[in-house]
Amino acid sequence: MGEAFAKGLVMAFLIGAISLIVYLFKWLNKKINGKEIYKAEEKFNYLNAKYTNLVGKKDDKIGREIKEINIYIPINPTKNWKVYKTVKGNLLKSDEDVLLYQISDSKLETILENNKNQE
């Protein structure tokens, strides 16, 4: 019984530590950059929905299978959103991340607004 309690306590501590790190990162980011990304989750979901269908398909340029799609959120609204594809390695090469798409935060916001207006 004491062992289960100890494991639960360790898990609670880890979750608390991770939450604290995330909070501090967001707080520090806001202090350094002054602005947060407006509707970041909605923009992330839009890009994710647009490009996840490529996973498992063969890349035309490189000729290798796309293993996953990674979306990098900019640290402030003046930076670009970037979408990378990870292509499967071959015998001599390991997996490789290739830039698939990048767009400014303001242009992405405009696209989302236009999509909402069309619906």
- State mean pLDDT over 7-29: 87
The model's pTM: 0.64
Q: Order the strands of the 96-104 sheet from edge to edge.
A: 66-72, 80-87, 96-104
**CA separation, residue 94 to residues 43, 64, 75, 115 (Å):** 30, 12, 29, 38
- DSSP track, 75-92: SSTTSEEEEEEEEPP-SS
**CA separation, residue 99 to residues 15, 40, 59 (Å):** 32, 20, 12
Q: Provide φ and ψ at 50, rounded to 5°.
A: -70, -35
Reported as a single tens digit per residue, the pLDDT across 23-71 is 888 888 777 766 677 788 899 999 999 999 888 888 888 788 888 999 9
